[in-house]
Structure formats: structure tokens, C-alpha cells
């Protein structure tokens, strides 16, 4: 089954990419935006067919490779 | 309210970043993985308080800036 790992910078960590996107959106006419934060999403087709086991495997992958736990948080969900 | 825009390469478009992640996971001992695809997620705090209006605004932003519609698909959802 497919899982989706979402990796975002932790709250409080400066996000220059998000800031740049927010500025560009404002220039394009989307005014009044609050915080904009950018992150990564990785979709992985795992061999596990049980959703709980697949999500647990995704969490192992995030801790081993996909997220830098010093500055990033991650969330794993079964993909639709 | 917050919205989340997810941008992924379209099916059929070569995803070298996803391939590299899949290879690295295999080297780390996560064997038997199928396709791995990498994308972007952008969380935006929009002034709209109505979820439908906020999502519609997010779709406008994706079309204007966040996604390259030639090679990428996007999805917008109200963030939790």
C-alpha cells in the first residue's frame, strides 16, 4: 500500500523558502496572507498491506533518512 | 484559516529525487519498496475563514505560482 510522509520545519525554525513564497504570492495579488511554510512530501509504495504496519514502517524511514529531526517534524499517513 | 497545497509531479514524469530516495532507503535496509515519489507541500495561513473559499483561493495560488501545470498536479485541502 502507499504511505505519505510529510516533513515540515519545526515551529520556530526560520523558513526562507516559505517566506519567499509568501512574498511572491503577495506580489501576485494574494494579499493578507499570514505565515507560509514549505515542506516536503514523499509517497512510498511499501510492501506492507496492513495500514498500521505500513505507517510504522514509514515512521522508521522518516527517522532513518527522510527527516532531519533536529530541525524537522514529520507525519506519516496511509495515502488515499 | 490554514490551507495545505500539495504539489506532485504528474504520473509518467520522471522523478529523479524520488528514485534517489528509494535507492537510499533500500541501501538502509528498507527492501521491497515500489515507486517512491517526492513532492512539495506548502502551508498557507489565508484570511478567508470559510473552508470552501480558502480552498478556492489556494487553487488560484497553485495555478498562479505554486505548481508548474505542465509537469505537476496539485491538491488543496483545509489544514488540520
Distant-in-sequence, close-in-space partners of A12: CB < 8 Å, separation ≥ 6: none
Asked if the Cβ–Cβ distance from A65 to B6 is below 8 Å, we say: no
* ipTM of this predicted structure: 0.91
pLDDT digits 0-9 by tens, B28-77? 999 999 999 999 999 999 999 999 999 999 999 999 999 999 999 999 99
State the burial class of residue A44 (Cβ atoms within 10 Å of its Cβ: 0-12, 13-18, 19+): buried
pLDDT digits 0-9 by tens, B1-23? 999 999 999 999 999 999 999 99
**Closest Cβ–Cβ partner in B28, B34, B60 for A45:** B34
Structurally, chain A folds into a number of domains equal to 1
Per-residue pLDDT, A70: 97
CATH number for the domain that contains residue A29: 3.30.1280.10
Per-residue pLDDT, A43: 97
Per-residue pLDDT, B43: 97
Minimal CA separation from A51 to chain B, in Å: 15
**Closest Cβ–Cβ partner in B24, B33, B43 for A45:** B33
Residue A32's pLDDT band (cuts 50, 70, 90): very high
Residue A39's pLDDT band (cuts 50, 70, 90): very high
Q: What is the mean pLDDT of residues A28-37?
A: 97
Per-residue pLDDT, B19: 97
Residue A80 above 80 pLDDT?
no
Please, what is the Cα angle at B57 between B53 and B61, to 5 degrees? 170
**What is the residue range of A34's domain?**
2-78
Rounded CA-CA distance B51/A75 in Å is: 22
Helices (H), B28-79: 51-61
Asked if the Cβ–Cβ distance from B46 to A33 is below 8 Å, we say: yes
Residue A79's pLDDT band (cuts 50, 70, 90): confident
Residue B80 above 80 pLDDT?
no
Nearest by Cα to A40 from A7, A2, A77: A7
Chains A and B form CB pairs within 8 A to the count of 99
pLDDT digits 0-9 by tens, A44-61? 999 999 999 999 999 999
Nearest by Cα to A55 from A66, A64, A65, A44: A44
| Mean of all residue pLDDT scores within chain A | 96
Amino acid at each position: 500500500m502507499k504511505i505519505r510522509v510529510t516533513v515540515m520545519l519545526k515551529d520556530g525554525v526560520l523558513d526562507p523558502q516559505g517566506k519567499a513564497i509568501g512574498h511572491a504570492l503577495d506580489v501576485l495579488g494574494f494579499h493578507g496572507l499570514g505565515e507560509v511554510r514549505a515542506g516536503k512530501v514523499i509517497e512510498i509504495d511499501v510492501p506492507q498491506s496492513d495500514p498500521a504496519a505500513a505507517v510504522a514502517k514509514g515512521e522508521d524511514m522518516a527517522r532513518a533518512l527522510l527527516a532531519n529531526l533536529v530541525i524537522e517534524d514529520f507525519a506519516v499517513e496511509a495515502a488515499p
